[in-house]
Chains A and B, each alone.
Chain A
Amino acid sequence: MLDFEITEHKDTRSGFGVGLLEIAKADENVVGLCADLTGSLKMNAFQDAFPHRFFQAGIAEANMMGVAAGMANAGKIPFAGTFANFATGRVYDQIRQSIAYSKKNVKIAASHSGLTLGEDGATHQILEDIGLMKMLPNMTVICTADFNQTKAATIAAAKHNGPVYLRFGRPSMPNFTPADQNFVIGKANLIHEGSDVTIVCTGHLVWESVLAAQKLRDQGINAEVLNIHTIKPLDEEAVLKSVAKTGCVVSAEEHMINGGLGESISGLLARNNPAPQEFVAVNDTFGESGTPAELLVKYGLDSSNIVDACKKVISRK
């Protein structure tokens, strides 16, 4: 389906906050940690409801990850929240040794990912985090499309036994996926069936891909849109099935080309069914200050870029 009736705009981080509160009510083992960004992560409601299960770590992310690992060892389900930059690059070795290698059931809640946190600029706009996290054995990597999906993913992550990297963001955007969706980790969502080109997309660029598919439809091109909310483990079957039908693929993500979803897709296709691919992603550069919309345009990540990439890849078939 491409014609969504959008009744509200919301941020994905608020989906995390609502989901965390809901699963915390259902499971007393859920605990929350945050590194001085409780408001930004929308963890206040959880903190207010369960003050004894909330742990303020201060601006000390490395320690927070270790504390979370220690809690997980005793059967707790810690959600450790901070900005995506500080939840990955800053603490990579702590995650690697104490969480991933040690197989601790920690959920890393990473907000303000990608370019669309906007005006703070490149120091805070991590575009490498998907790559960093997907390279870690034992790590599940989730990147959600909107408020409803982030809420559902948060609950699913809590129920999943094992380390999870949950990536979401700051900007308000259309809330278009179903409120009652059944979020299955590792299972792609087919948003729209098409036959001319497959758009595999994740995070905020799922909505841009929907807009792109609408524009393409108006031009007589029928695009299939696959929301890859779980980058690892990748739903290989869904991608291969779709590309077998369409014969070409565009990957769209708010991330570097290097290490991103697109490279996961390329590797999958190279091993199974090579097909032309175009990448809508950031090409080996840092971001900068600006509004989210301006940044998506400047860095080539908006729906018109996806349209262009689709036309180009179709011409390469």
Chain B
Amino acid sequence: MDKEGLKKFSSQVRRDIIRMVSAVQSGHPGGSLGCTDFFVALYSNIMKHDPKNFKMDGNGEDIFFLSNGHISPVWYSTLARSGYFEVSELATFRKINTRLQGHPSVDKNLPGIRMASGSLGQGLSVGCGAAQAKKLNNDPNLIYTLHGDGELQEGQIWEAAMYAAHQKIDNIIATVDYNGRQIDGDLDDVLSLGDLRAKWEAFGWKVLEMDGHDFDSILSTMEKAKGMTGNGTPIVILMKTEMGQGVDFMMGTHKWHGSPPNADQTANALSQLEETLGDY
């Protein structure tokens, strides 16, 4: 997809996010908006995947695991608009009997989801296991994971980081949504990560950085990361983003991490986001 297409895709996904969380007055718009450009690029241009023939095992294709499951709105919208399920189903988000659970689950059989997430810190371990299974299966495809930066406060992340380097898991590309904010405030006020690049490097990972709101940066960095696979070292990308990106009053604060906009705020937000592909 060309850059114009990606921008249109992103604008529509951001509208979906606002409309989904607004409709049920719950959910997590901030991080969803911040990761929209990443999701759109990943599913449109980076991953080898087959939306019309979803296979749980993911054998023979690339696999994505969302570790910070609370940003489910951006994932559901991207999946639907990539063809995994009907766009109209986005209207069921967080409602009773929905397949679009508040946090991603597999027990409702929503195509595109392979692992429940939401309790933080678990997705990198899962990604490591999936990557090693690919090696056992002689499957040359890759594992992608996404993590919140606040999520890196979980100890299990660093267990997995140590494990991946020791086991030479070089078919995984992890990305960190480095927006510097979490529920209780700025990350540096809650529990600082210190020198995050140095931490990953000290754990034996190759570290790349990219601007999560610049498609040139996302696409070139992801391609570069792909080119670095197969060399005995896991790869992590620190992706600078802005929580709430695309909606002015949601940016520059942590307050929209898990709060929905009211009716006026919803109208204001939607006025800032062009309807490009048709609302669900």
Distance A67 CA – B159 CA, assembled complex (angstroms): 11
Name the interface residues of A72-114: CB closer than 8 Å to any CB of B: 72-76, 78, 93-94, 96-98, 101-104
- Whether A31 touches B156, Cβ cut-off 8 Å, given contacts A74-B57, A93-B119, A98-B122, is no
A62 interface hit (Cβ, 8 Å): yes
- Which of B24-32, B75-83, B84-92, B126-134 sits within the interface? B126-134
Say how far A255's CB is from chain B's closest CB, in angstroms: 26
Residue of A nearest to B59 (CB): A74
Total count of chain B residues near the partner, CB < 8 A? 39
In the complex, are the beta carbons of B115 and A69 less than 8 A apart? yes
In the complex, are the beta carbons of B125 and A62 less than 8 A apart? yes
Say how far A31's CB is from chain B's closest CB, in angstroms: 7
A58 interface hit (Cβ, 8 Å): yes
Name the interface residues of A254-281: CB closer than 8 Å to any CB of B: none
- The contact string, 1 if C-beta is below 8 Å from chain A, for chain B 79-111, is 000000000000000000000000001110000
A65 interface hit (Cβ, 8 Å): yes
Chain B positions within 8 Å of A96 at CB level: 119
A68 interface hit (Cβ, 8 Å): yes
In the complex, are the beta carbons of A73 and B159 less than 8 A apart? no
Chain B positions within 8 Å of A136 at CB level: none
Chain B positions within 8 Å of A76 at CB level: 133, 136
Distance A121 CA – B147 CA, assembled complex (angstroms): 39
In the complex, are the beta carbons of A68 and B163 less than 8 A apart? no
Distance A26 CA – B36 CA, assembled complex (angstroms): 46
- Whether A67 touches B125, Cβ cut-off 8 Å, given contacts A62-B159, A76-B136, is yes
- Whether A71 touches B115, Cβ cut-off 8 Å, given contacts A66-B156, A94-B122, is no
Residue of A nearest to B161 (CB): A63
Distance A101 CA – B57 CA, assembled complex (angstroms): 16
Residue of A nearest to B125 (CB): A66
In the complex, are the beta carbons of B128 and A70 less than 8 A apart? yes
Number of residue pairs across A and B with beta carbons under 8 Å?
119
Say how far B169's CB is from chain A's closest CB, in angstroms: 10
Residue from B58, B155, B160, B167 in contact with A74 in the complex, judged by beta carbons closer than 8 Å: B58
In the complex, are the beta carbons of A75 and B59 less than 8 A apart? yes
Residue from B130, B155, B156, B162 in contact with A73 in the complex, judged by beta carbons closer than 8 Å: B130
Chain A positions within 8 Å of B122 at CB level: 62, 66, 93-94, 97-98
Residue from B57, B59, B107, B128 in contact with A67 in the complex, judged by beta carbons closer than 8 Å: B128
Residue from A53, A60, A74, A93 in contact with B163 in the complex, judged by beta carbons closer than 8 Å: A60
Chain A positions within 8 Å of B159 at CB level: 58, 60, 62-63
In the complex, are the beta carbons of A58 and B163 less than 8 A apart? yes
Residue of A nearest to B172 (CB): A70
In the complex, are the beta carbons of A70 and B125 less than 8 A apart? yes
Say how far B12's CB is from chain A's closest CB, in angstroms: 29
Most B Cβ at <10 Å: residue of A66, A70, A93, A104: A70
Distance A58 CA – B58 CA, assembled complex (angstroms): 27
Chain A positions within 8 Å of B22 at CB level: none
B114 interface hit (Cβ, 8 Å): yes
Chain B positions within 8 Å of A53 at CB level: 136
Say how far B139's CB is from chain A's closest CB, in angstroms: 8
Distance A124 CA – B121 CA, assembled complex (angstroms): 25
In the complex, are the beta carbons of A71 and B130 less than 8 A apart? yes
- The contact string, 1 if C-beta is below 8 Å from chain B, for chain A 49-64, is 0001101011010111
Distance A197 CA – B137 CA, assembled complex (angstroms): 53
Distance A58 CA – B105 CA, assembled complex (angstroms): 29
- The contact string, 1 if C-beta is below 8 Å from chain A, for chain B 133-148, is 1101101000000000
In the complex, are the beta carbons of B107 and A101 less than 8 A apart? yes
- Whether A103 touches B107, Cβ cut-off 8 Å, given contacts A60-B162, A66-B125, A70-B126, is yes
- The contact string, 1 if C-beta is below 8 Å from chain B, for chain A 205-216, is 000000000000
- Whether A65 touches B125, Cβ cut-off 8 Å, given contacts A55-B167, A73-B115, is yes
In the complex, are the beta carbons of B58 and A98 less than 8 A apart? no
Residue from B56, B133, B137 in contact with A70 in the complex, judged by beta carbons closer than 8 Å: B133
In the complex, are the beta carbons of B156 and A70 less than 8 A apart? no
B42 interface hit (Cβ, 8 Å): no
Chain A positions within 8 Å of B273 at CB level: none
Say how far A277's CB is from chain B's closest CB, in angstroms: 34
Residue from B105, B107, B160 in contact with A66 in the complex, judged by beta carbons closer than 8 Å: B160
In the complex, are the beta carbons of B116 and A102 less than 8 A apart? yes
Most B Cβ at <10 Å: residue of A52, A60, A72: A60
Residue of B nearest to A61 (CB): B159
Distance A72 CA – B114 CA, assembled complex (angstroms): 11
Say how far A49's CB is from chain B's closest CB, in angstroms: 15
Q: List the 4 closest pairs (A to B, CB-CB), nearest first.
A: A66-B125, A70-B129, A74-B133, A67-B129
> What would be 21 A-B contacts, judged by CB atoms less than 8 Å apart?
A52-B136, A62-B121, A63-B159, A63-B163, A64-B125, A66-B125, A66-B126, A67-B132, A68-B129, A70-B131, A71-B130, A71-B136, A73-B57, A73-B114, A73-B129, A75-B137, A93-B119, A96-B119, A97-B117, A98-B122, A102-B116
Q: Assuming A67-B128, A72-B129, A74-B59, what are 16 further A-B pairs, CB within 8 angstroms?
A: A58-B163, A65-B125, A66-B156, A66-B160, A67-B160, A68-B129, A69-B126, A70-B133, A73-B57, A73-B130, A74-B57, A74-B130, A94-B125, A97-B122, A101-B106, A101-B116
